[in-house]
Structure 1
Amino acid sequence: MASCQSASITEEPLESVLQENLEAPPPTTGEDVFAPDYWDDAELVWSDEFDGTELSQENWKFETGNNGWGNNELQNYQNEGNVEVSNGTLKIIAKKENVDGSMYTSARLNSKKEFTFGKIEIRAKIPEDKGKGIWPALWMLGNNINSVGWPACGEIDIMEYVSYSPNEVHFTIHSTANNHVKGTQITSGPVPLETIEEEFHTYGVLWTDKYMKFYIDTEDNIKLNFLRPNISNSDNWPFSKPFYFLMNIAIGGNWGGLEGVDDSIFPAVMEVDYVRVYQK
């Protein structure tokens, strides 16, 4: 689970990981979601542009604590001191400071809004490459997590990065059938992105009841294409219900801390320019 219950990503070839999902069932009603122009008339239905100087309490809430988050992570998530809104961006700041027994602090934001399907885009810049130990993520969880738990709720990792492996980004999907605990998660593996730490990039998902397509910057730059299985159920496709956004920087943990934590990298800042949801 991205900064919640994730582990090292299986670098199995994408073709073999997705072999059982190569053919999607044709749509039975409405528009053809596979049509080249399907997304052309999608309209912006919600966004946060992070203007002003305050985080929108209408859009976001903090998740706090230092319980390891299922991954043996080291940070204590705080609701003050680790978030800043200025100059048109949100800054999530990971710090080296001792709070309640944890040696590091950071922030984890959950959206109050939930969405089912759409063109999802988050434009962000990863913290400067200064060393090992941080694990920034932009992701989504099914809103029924409190009743069914993880991974049954489903997880959509729009962007994951671990700083011991610079210049790379990961896209991943988790469900009961496909998750890292079983070693069956659906993943792009490491995708080269030489300017990930220096420049803003748009991380996007085209999400319908037939597929999820993950891209960088433009819709034709697809890096992971997951088609709904021909025989689908809640175990292998929990993705036709509401999901909410999460944004955070984890420190250490089963994946982010595989090569230790370099204390000289702090403070580490992830900037988010906007979060946008377009729907048909």
Structure 2
Amino acid sequence: MSRFNRRKLAALGVAGLIAFGFALAEAPAGNAATTAPDCGATVRKADGTAWRCSFADYFDGTKLSTARWKVVTSNDADYRSRKDCFVNSSKNVSVSGGILRLTTRRTAPFSCGTGMNKYTATGTSGMVSTMGRFFQTYGRFEMKAKWPYTKQIGLQGAFWLWPEGASGMTWPVSGELDIAEWFSKYPDRAIPYLHTASSILNPSGATNNYCILKNPADWHTYTLTWTKSRILIQYDGKTCLDAGGGSPYDKPFNVSLTQAWGVKKNAPTTSTPFPSTMQVSYVRVWK
């Protein structure tokens, strides 16, 4: 089964690969977030001790918090093999009523990217990350979200972690941790994937293609519990993937949310519903 982020990075031209470099943890100097995060009710680890809240966004107000998130655009990397363009527009990334909305659209052809990375796009998409704002090694990461459910192929969303400062040139050795990806080609489930140097050759321990959701268009929680020895991914509290830890998952990663066009066998057709929106109620992280 195809994977959003593997295809995403494979699509980046070798000479033009740029680190998605998502960065920062625990309110370092220069972080505009000055209040302590609130993750709500106490959540306890397996040993009974409490997790400590390190990041939380409930998307209050009418604008995305630039203290917590960066809108990622196609100018941040070489996306010449895609047909959509990641843009910083309120039509694609918006906040209202306590909800973050990431929207992908079909448009008239236009020029996307700059310089050698310029290409013709026929759609726009939305992506945000904690690049330059938050990163963390180990912890509990959780999102509550709705996918833009359809049985028509062409849509792809993701809740995923990327190693701070890493370049696509070192992928998948550097690692990538996909907590939940939703492909409209497989509309009744979300799919995790642990990208490592060995996962391409032996994917059996890196993914689970059968984590069925009762209704993907309804609110669900997607949770990662990440320790030195274990990576546990759960959807609505039910285990989807339980794998060992260790390298490359032993360094700081940060958080990304993406709603985009699908690619290859999940590429849009004339029947793909546009615009389509992924809705996120909150993102919370503990350590």
TM normalised by structure 1 equals 0.77
C-alpha distance in structure 2 between counterparts of 1:55 and 1:39, whole Å: 35
Residue 161 of structure 2 is matched in structure 1 by: 140
Residue 41 of structure 2 is matched in structure 1 by: none
Residue 224 of structure 1 is matched in structure 2 by: 241
In the TM superposition, what is the alpha-carbon distance from 1:208 to its structure 2 partner?
Answer: 0.3
| 1:221-267 CA distance string (max 9 Å, x none) | 11100013xxx6xxxx211110011111121313532xx43455001
C-alpha distance in structure 2 between counterparts of 1:210 and 1:131, whole Å: 39
Which blocks of at least 5 consecutive residues in structure 1 are unaligned? 8-34
SS at match of 1:5: helix
Residue 4 of structure 1 is matched in structure 2 by: 5
Quick one: which of 201, 210, 215 aligns to 2:234?
Answer: 215
Residue 162 of structure 1 is matched in structure 2 by: 183
Residue 22 of structure 1 is matched in structure 2 by: none
Residue 187 of structure 1 is matched in structure 2 by: 207
In the TM superposition, what is the alpha-carbon distance from 1:6 to its structure 2 partner?
Answer: 3.2
SS at match of 2:4: coil
* Contact 2:45 2:51 survives alignment (8 Å): no
Task: Give the letter for the 1:187 counterpart.
Answer: T
| 1:95-116 CA distance string (max 9 Å, x none) | 1113322111011111121011
Quick one: which of 123, 135, 147 aligns to 1:126?
Answer: 147
C-alpha distance in structure 1 between counterparts of 2:221 and 2:83, whole Å: 28
C-alpha distance in structure 2 between counterparts of 1:40 and 1:278, whole Å: 12
Quick one: which of 89, 102, 106 aligns to 1:92?
Answer: 102
Does 2:276 correspond to 1:275?
no
C-alpha distance in structure 2 between counterparts of 1:210 and 1:264, whole Å: 41
SS at match of 1:250: strand
C-alpha distance in structure 2 between counterparts of 1:264 and 1:189, whole Å: 23
In the TM superposition, what is the alpha-carbon distance from 1:144 to its structure 2 partner?
Answer: 3.4
Residue 40 of structure 2 is matched in structure 1 by: none
Change (3 A) 1:127 1:39: farther
Does 2:172 correspond to 1:151?
yes
In the TM superposition, what is the alpha-carbon distance from 1:2 to its structure 2 partner?
Answer: 5.3
| 1:113-165 CA distance string (max 9 Å, x none) | 10111111011100132621011111011113128621122111111011122
Task: Give the letter for the 1:267 counterpart.
Answer: P
* Contact 1:74 1:252 survives alignment (8 Å): no
Does 2:263 correspond to 1:253?
yes
* Contact 2:53 2:285 survives alignment (8 Å): yes
SS at match of 1:187: coil
In the TM superposition, what is the alpha-carbon distance from 1:3 to its structure 2 partner?
Answer: 3.2
* Contact 1:2 1:157 survives alignment (8 Å): no
**What is the aligned length?**
237
Does 2:69 correspond to 1:60?
yes
In the TM superposition, what is the alpha-carbon distance from 1:176 to its structure 2 partner?
Answer: 1.5
C-alpha distance in structure 2 between counterparts of 1:43 and 1:6, whole Å: 35
In the TM superposition, what is the alpha-carbon distance from 1:200 to its structure 2 partner?
Answer: 0.8
C-alpha distance in structure 2 between counterparts of 1:104 and 1:121, whole Å: 29
Change (3 A) 1:102 1:216: same
Which blocks of at least 5 consecutive residues in structure 2 are unaligned? 9-43, 112-119
* Contact 1:171 1:224 survives alignment (8 Å): yes
Quick one: which of 81, 93, 96 aligns to 1:83?
Answer: 93
Runs (4+) of structure 1 moved beyond 3 Å?
1-4, 66-70, 182-185
In the TM superposition, what is the alpha-carbon distance from 1:39 to its structure 2 partner?
Answer: 5.9
Quick one: which of 187, 192, 199 aligns to 1:178?
Answer: 199
Change (3 A) 1:130 1:224: closer
SS at match of 1:196: coil
| 1:175-208 CA distance string (max 9 Å, x none) | 11223xx4637101131112112x1100001100
C-alpha distance in structure 1 between counterparts of 2:92 and 2:73, whole Å: 11
